Copies of this chain bind each other. A is one copy, B any other.
Amino acid sequence: MSDTRDWHNLVITFDSDGLEVLASAASAAVESLRRPPSGPRSNWTPAALHHLVTSLEICPDEGINLNTVLAELGFVVWSHGVVPSDPACVAHLHPPTLVPAVVTELAIAASNQSMDSWDQSPAATEVELHLMRWLADLIGFPETGSGVMTSGGTASNVLAMTLARSWAAKKLGVDVLKTGLPPEAASWRILCSDQAHFSVQRAAAQLGLGRDSVTTVETTSSGAMEVAALDRVLIEMTRTGLEPIAIVATAGTTDLGAVDPLSEIAQRARRHDAWLHVDAAVAGAFLLSDRLGPALSGIELADSVTVDFHKLWWQPFNASALVIRDAERFDLLRVKSNYLDRGDELEGVVNLVGRSLDTSRRFDAAKVVATLRTLGRLALAEMLEHLVDLSRYAGSVIESHPQLELIATPTSVMCVFSAPDVSDDDLRHVQQRLLARGEMVLGRTMIKDRATLKFTFMNPLATTDDVDRLVILVASELNTL
């Protein structure tokens, strides 16, 4: 048989020799990230990057020294990445990450617990459950509340809609996961606002209901669902025999950061026996702040809530959670397998595969816990409040700027604006030129069929001076049109 000797410096072990190798390689990986402060991204074109990257041989027959490989990733990849901690990186809900989370990722990868079964993650399973219970408390759920970590807000929303679909089918005596969609499903509808995330449509598409089963409800100019419009839709559905199986309320829309009127929507959901899901991927973190939290009042009335730790909790991708009011409803999903979750385990064993649409799953809960314990609630709340303040400041600067027009007063970390008398195409050129030159990664979206630009402030280190500079950059670019 072949010799295992050569592999001791490659396979992670937790003895002194193994940790020494790991520590030294970790230093080299950190060093590979070094770059001069040169803006949010390099000015290389897609074609030039394609050429650079494809010059790497993915898998040579003979390996290359690790330090060389890491250094090469540095100059080929990291130096041509987007820098989320650059104050001019303001396009998306794309955060810079926090030191406790990043170094815990190293430990997560080294220990490689898998969250599907307890015998692959004994303590880790308890940590995830403990975090989920804490989050359920923060939301205001009763003691029955718990959740599961997922790979993102889209996955959390898909899981919520999967549960809602099973719940609706169960009322008909149908196990939809077993026998498929019943004929009644043709009349099932999912309601959300016209500013809800497109993952609601994606979930409906995935579940076999189709995007057309999603009925969107009009929003106010601030981007929040209009309750009167919701009532009109519900009355019309009753009249035409359609069944609202789920209402998705958004706590923090992607573009305007609006929070739907949760308590009023909850009343309607209760009345129509519809599953109430709150997509708080964006604004869930507000619950940490005494100042910002009250905006989410009513979230405790939901059946399920999406929270994205990889947004305003500054966690590396991916880290999202779906929390549900009554953890027993996860039984709607459960399928036994011969090798996992057989239901005949040691006393006290929980196999989280029963709550998840994934099987193998990484221990992302560890980085979230490391972050929460290191920073504490007050520091996280202050960082968040700072970004909301920054966004409001940007709003006031834009409002008083002769060339720019504020679309809505910021209430979250986004600031959406436009320029009067500038065409949609020209706004696009502004965004693309700043991106192409590597000067700013600026957001661009459509609000009520109108092209707009968008700042999304995710970087706690950004200041009002940075905002001033960003506004000047955009205005100068508009002047070159």
Contacts and interface: CB of A to CB of B under 8 A. Distances in A.
A103 B155 CA distance: 27
Contact of A393 (B1, B73, B383): B1
A118 interface: yes
Copies per complex? 2
A357 B202 contact: yes
A314 B10 CA distance: 10
Contacts of A112: 84, 94-97, 316-317
B373 A122 contact: no
Given A66-B374, A99-B66, A121-B82, A316 B108 contact: yes
A12 interface: yes
A130 B100 contact: no
Given A95-B112, A199-B359, A212 B179 contact: yes
A269 B337 CA distance: 27
A344 B445 contact: no
Contacts of A383: 7
Contact of A390 (B1, B314, B375, B380): B1
Of A47, A83, A177, most B-chain CB atoms within 10 Å: A177
A42 B69 CA distance: 36
Nearest to A55: B130
Contacts of A77: 123-124, 127, 366
Nearest to A62: B376
6 A-B pairs with least C-beta separation: A208-B208, A180-B210, A46-B348, A63-B376, A109-B316, A80-B123
Contact of A461 (B13, B123, B177, B361): B13
